[in-house]
Amino acid sequence: MIFDLNSLNFTYGVQTVIAVSVLIALILFARKHVARQFGAGVAYALWAIPLARLVLPPLSMPTPLAGFFEMFQSQSPAAAGTADAAPAFVRSPEPVGSAANAVWAPPTTGPEASSPLFEVAHGPAAFPELSEPVLGGLLLGTVLAVWAGGAIYMLARSSFAHHSFMQTLRREEMPASPELASLADDVARQIGLKRTPQISTSFISSGPLVSGLFRPTVLLPAWFEEDYTVSQQRAALAHELTHIKRGDLWALQMSEIFVSALWFNPLAYIARRAFRTDQEAACDSDVLKSGASSPHAYGETLLKAVQLALPERLTAAASLPLTHALKERMIRMTTPSPSRSRRLLGAGVSGLLGSAALMSSAFVATACASAEADEKVDMAELAGGEPDNINPVPQHRSLHFKDGTLFIDGDKVEDRQVVIIGDPFSVDAMTPELEREIEILTSKIEAETAEIETLVASMPHIELAFEGFDEELNRKMEMAFSFTDETMPKSEAEWEAWAEKVEAQAEEWEAHAEAIAERAEAHADAWETRFEPQMDALEARIEAHADALERKIEIAYGEEFEDEMEHTHIVLTDLVEQCRDANLAEGETRILEKSSSQDKTRDVKIACIKGDKDTLKAKATIKSVMKSDKLDAAEKKAFKKQVNGSSSHTITIETDTTDE
């Protein structure tokens, strides 16, 4: 499919989707039976077949079905062939100058033996309904654009979810205790893992899971050691470490790409759920075969993880939680494991059937190989020109410094000291009348804001009746998950009955929670209906006061006052970055200046010194500034006051600029 979308062969793309869908349906039908007969690993391996069919290029078959259909539709009785006649070929419609595709056609006899079995017209005559090639191109382009947009969106959403989760994980994770780390090392050696990955605990996880493609991390709940016995800890670690050994995180990522490519196909989502179940079951099988945990302890661990994870479900892209698809995995664990020879037989049979399925699906793709050797395009020439319009890229810059210590975008500049000469943000003194007006408006805004806070505080407290029900649900759940060797379900029917019981209790909890949520929403709606007019009036008055305050400042300082202050921020940030990048000798002082207004009436000046705080106060630095012809007497005096500590600057500036 991917191959032919690139070559714009829409027909083969549709046929590939059909072929992949058929393969998915066959695997969904056969997977449980294959798992019972040959083992969970063989059932899991079946999912490689539709993936391979999706990415393989067109497969050539000697007698494609479409060729037979065309032959039976076009061959006349007089064209019946003999066994010794030469085979003919049918050429598919191709533009002039391109290589034509050929499919095999049965031989003919008689006068027509030297010509193809039937002729295929070229150009508009062949397809009168497509006499306007632009229409077909637009339709194909639209379909491809919709497909590509959906695929990119699905991939971007998955990648963003995984990236956000990993950021949260790295921020909230805590190192495991020495005892837990030692246990993980022991389990890793037993299952054959060469290097123990990072083991962390966190409050963001309610159950064990593993995540991270390049740096896998086993994430355990913060209360893991208190809630799990040592044998259960060992089983949980064995499961997550086995996922890493098997490369299941990469397989999970491939499944995300598979679903993204087939985002429009409901079978893809069903296949992903079944794939995850088979992946977990195969991992369970490998854990038990390694001997890292006994079946009884392993089953108890799965039940404990699900019990603790019920109140809160943690979902994250490209992560493998321990609790996935518990019921089907427990049922498979009660099935006797097949022998090694039977598993090998199953793998061989699955490989044969997979190859046969891939080859047979080639019937769907008929005569799709395109020869483009004579039509190659020099992509360098196509990409050679520069675009006429380039949208400027906005950049956010952060500047903070205190008494010379400089931070740019949060990073401390170690070998630079910066002193702002004078006050670039100074304005003409306010008149007493303006000060009083601004003070009055400010006090009105504060009063209106306080009234809003009072209204919000008056919102009635909603009693959420969770306590008694929560205790009762916990008691029921503990009873449901309390198994002994005698009471643990032994058959598929018993597991089904247990699962139905747990689901009923979970539904009871959900119904209670929904009732409380509806009650809370009703209270909120009633409060909003009562107080919304007052809130709207208060907000309108606050906005009016703010507008009046802005107008008075504009009258006093001009309409461009805000723009000038913003431009001064940008100029100061530019000067500081110039200081950071300047090639200065140790202890050297340089005065940097730049105008911050169009009429050149407001200049921003800084003293840039290479060195530490002691260098800032050194006699050589002060002498250099005092001799500078770029500063007047008042500016030199201001510099000395800052260096001596009698005046200080603490400034934080956030600017959004655009590179032209």
Quick: pLDDT tens for 22-46: 889 888 888 888 887 777 888 888 8
Over range 361-383, report the average pLDDT.
42
- How far apart are alpha carbons 592 and 608 in whole angstroms? 7
Q: What is residue 199's predicted lDDT score, i.e. its pLDDT?
A: 92
Q: Is residue 152 part of a domain?
A: no
pLDDT score of 587 more than 70? yes
381 and 365 in a common domain: yes
| DSSP-based three-state secondary structure for 641 | helix
| Residue 463 DSSP class | P
316 and 186 in a common domain: yes
Does residue 485 or residue 188 have the better pLDDT? 188
277 and 182 in a common domain: yes
Q: Is residue 146 part of a domain?
A: no
Residue with tokens 């989502």: 269
Instruction: Classify burial at 90, counting beta carbons within 10 Å of its beta carbon; exposed 0-12, middle 13-18, buried 19 or more.
Output: buried
241 confidence band (pLDDT: 50, 70, 90): very high
Residue 120 has which token pair? 């295929």
399 confidence band (pLDDT: 50, 70, 90): low
Q: What is residue 185's predicted lDDT score, i.e. its pLDDT?
A: 92
Q: Is residue 155 part of a domain?
A: no
Residue 30 has which token pair? 């056969």
Domain end, chosen from 530, 560, 590, is at: 560
346 and 330 in a common domain: no
Q: What is residue 606's predicted lDDT score, i.e. its pLDDT?
A: 86
110 and 37 in a common domain: yes
Maximum average pLDDT range among 237-251, 370-384, 429-443, 596-610: 237-251
Listing DSSP states for 69-129 in one string gives HHHHHH--GGG---TTSPPEEEEPP--TTSPPPEEEE----GGGGGS-SS----GGGT-GG
Q: What is residue 9's predicted lDDT score, i.e. its pLDDT?
A: 59
611 confidence band (pLDDT: 50, 70, 90): confident
Q: Is residue 234 part of a domain?
A: yes
Q: Is residue 154 part of a domain?
A: no
Q: What is residue 598's predicted lDDT score, i.e. its pLDDT?
A: 58
Identity at 242, one-letter amino acid code = T
584 and 542 in a common domain: no
581 confidence band (pLDDT: 50, 70, 90): confident
**Rounded mean pLDDT of the chain?**
69
* Helix 340-360, helix 10-38: angle, nearest 10: 160
Q: In 358-480, where do the E strands start and end?
A: 393-402, 405-408, 411-413, 416-421
First and final C-alpha spacing in the chain: 42
- How far apart are alpha carbons 208 and 211 in whole angstroms? 10
Give the tens place of pLDDT for each residue, 620-660: 888 888 988 888 888 888 888 877 765 455 555 555 544 44
454 and 404 in a common domain: no
108 and 45 in a common domain: yes
pLDDT score of 505 more than 90? no
645 and 538 in a common domain: no
| Cβ-contact 505, 476 below 8 angstroms | yes
440 and 499 in a common domain: yes
546 confidence band (pLDDT: 50, 70, 90): confident
| Cβ-contact 286, 266 below 8 angstroms | no
How many distinct structural domains can be found in the chain?
Answer: 4
186 confidence band (pLDDT: 50, 70, 90): very high
- How far apart are alpha carbons 282 and 71 in whole angstroms? 47
- Among 122-136, 291-305, 464-478, 595-609, whose mean pLDDT is lowest? 122-136
Q: In 523-617, where do the E strands start and end?
A: 589-595, 603-610
pTM above 0.85, yes or no: no
Domain end, chosen from 329, 354, 385, is at: 385
Domain residue limits at 263? 163-338
Give the tens place of pLDDT for each residue, 125-182: 444 444 445 555 677 778 888 888 888 998 888 888 888 888 888 888 888 898 999 9
556 and 527 in a common domain: yes
278 and 367 in a common domain: no
| Cβ-contact 16, 54 below 8 angstroms | yes
432 confidence band (pLDDT: 50, 70, 90): confident
Give kind and range of the element (H or E) at residue 152. helix 133-172
Q: What is residue 228's predicted lDDT score, i.e. its pLDDT?
A: 86
